[in-house]
Amino acid sequence: MHPLLPFLALELAREHQEAARQAALVARLAAERPRSSSWRHALAIAFAGISRSSARATRRLDDCLADDLVRGLVAQDGA
């Protein structure tokens, strides 16, 4: 067995322990933080709904305009 393996194992164990400590700290801080973003989340959902509705209306208008253009071209060809 290589003489450095125990030292590498100890260092790896220290790194894992530090990562676990940091993850626990982040989780604790996230749990303690007040949830002030709930109104932002609701506002984002409302804006997304408005955006989807306007996109749907735009597609309908585009379809109607395309139909009108086709009818106009057919009428010109027939004249």
First to last CA, the chain: 95
Average pLDDT over residues 39-48: 89
Q: Virtual CA dihedral for 46, 48, 50, 53, nearest 10 degrees?
A: -140
Average pLDDT over residues 46-71: 85
Handedness of CA 32, 37, 42, 48 (dihedral sign): negative
Local confidence band at 76 (pLDDT 50, 70, 90 cut-offs): confident
Local confidence band at 6 (pLDDT 50, 70, 90 cut-offs): confident
Average pLDDT over residues 46-66: 88
Average pLDDT over residues 62-70: 76
- Compute the distance between CA of residue 70 and CA of residue 58 in angstroms, rounded to an integer: 18
